[in-house]
Amino acid sequence: MNENRWEGIDEFVAVAECGQFTAAAERLGVSSSHISRQVARLEERLQTRLFYRSTRKVTLTEAGQTFLQHCQRLQDGREEALRAIGDLASEPKGMLRMTCAVAYGERFIVPLVTRFMGLYPQLRVDIELSNRPLDLVHESLDLAIRLGRLQDSRLVATRLAPRRMYMCASPSYLERYGRPHSLSELSRHNCLIGSSDLWQLQQDGREFSQRVQGNWRCNSGQAVLDAALQGVGICQLPDYYVLEHLKTGTLVSLLDTHQPPNTAVWALYPQQRHLSPKVRKLVDYLKEGLAKREEYQEREQ
């Protein structure tokens, strides 16, 4: 006869944690005789004594201590599995705290999050736009949208969209100062410096950082773009700043083979066994929404 191999495990764990059959019965809402009967059947199936019994209390045998550790993990796994399945069907609700870089967030992420909230009225969102990479754990953030290459291995990452860097200048600047044909010529040009004077480049398949110099600096990508459009110098900016201007010819792409390989736009969240519905569904929504943007239509995802 096939017996239920799970039968008696909940009762066994309750007795072990409570130290008494009566207390275990109260916890589970059953009779003491039921607890005693289930534990006895479990010991019979295992052919092992799990408890030393006295009139006042029960204590675990060595075998019982080992078995308890495994049973507690089984219970935790079972509850986690039930929560995960329940989460699949539940709607996003409660507070979701997230962060993103300012320019990309304003243009791409915040509009999508706003539309997402319209689908789930029980959801509240707190978005902090910052070019400083916030610590998700210490800041109690559920989600971060990051651009470029990832640094924090403690976080789980989902790729949302591609990202490419461009070096470019206006036709008016190139008419006055000429077009650079090699990396060595960059030192003779006025480079527009944003948040860093280190530009990421590649040569012969090797990636490296090169320090550039110029007479203009501002920690705003939009400001760097405006300066480039006015012919002040050469800039290095992500695709979403310059693609429109490259199409219209108001900017010219330079040294394409020396730009770093495509990086990405990432959704990052703290490690955990499964994502909450609000985070999981928002990440999926962002990925689908970005794929529909004109900026990504002609590019490989």
SS (H, E, C) the chain: CCCCCCCCHHHHHHHHHHCCHHHHHHHHCCCHHHHHHHHHHHHHHHCCCCEEECCCCEEECHHHHHHHHHHHHHHHHHHHHHHHHHHHHCCCCEEEEEEECHHHHHHHHHHHHHHHHHHCCCEEEEEEECCCCCCCCCCCCCEEEEECCCCCCCEEEEEEEEECEEEEECHHHHHHHCCCCCHHHHHHCCECECCCCEEEEEECCEEEEEECCCCCECCCHHHHHHHHHCCCCEEEEEHHHHHHHHHHCCCEEECHHHCCCCEEEEEEEECCCCCCHHHHHHHHHHHHHHHCCHHHHCCCC
Least reliable range by pLDDT among 80-84, 205-209, 225-229? 80-84
Q: What is the pLDDT of residue 301?
A: 40
- Residue 42 confidence (pLDDT): 92
Q: What pLDDT digit, counting tens, does each position of 82-137 carry?
A: 776 666 557 788 899 999 999 899 999 999 999 999 999 889 999 999 988 888 87
What average pLDDT does the segment 264-285 reach? Answer: 83
When pLDDT is cut at 50, 70 and 90, the band that residue 300 belongs to is very low
**299 or 125, higher pLDDT:** 125
C-alpha dist (Å) from residue 268 to 137, 158, 159, 264, 275? 11, 7, 9, 12, 11
Q: What is the pLDDT of residues 132-159, one digit of tens each?
A: 888 887 788 899 999 887 766 677 889 9
Determine the average pLDDT of the residues in 163-172: 94
Q: What is the CB neighbour count within 10 angstroms for residue 212?
A: 21
Decide: 227 and 216 in contact? Cβ < 8 Å. Answer: yes
At residue 299, the pLDDT reads: 54
- Return the percentage of the chain with pLDDT > 70, whole number: 92
Nearest Cα neighbor of 241 from 183, 127, 163 is: 163
CA distance 285 to 301: 15
Look at strands 94-100 and 235-238 and give their pairing: unpaired
CA angle at residue 265 from 260 to 267, to 5 degrees? 145
Question: Cβ–Cβ contacts within 10 Å for residue 192, how many?
Answer: 25
Q: Which residue has the tokens 């995802």?
A: 301
Asked if the model's pLDDT at residue 161 lies above 50, the reply is yes
Q: Round to whole Å and give the CA distance between 39 and 44.
A: 9
CA 210 to each of CA 63, 64, 109, 169, 186: distance values in angstroms, whole numbers, following the listed order? 64, 64, 30, 18, 10
Per-residue pLDDT of 186-204, as tens digits, reads 999 999 999 889 998 998 8
What is the pLDDT, as a whole number, of residue 274? 52
pTM over 0.85: no
Please, what is the average pLDDT of the chain? 88
Using CA atoms, how far apart are residues 146 and 159, in angstroms rounded to an integer? Answer: 10
pLDDT grade for 272, boundaries at 50, 70 and 90: low
pLDDT band at 25 (very low <50, low <70, confident <90, very high): very high
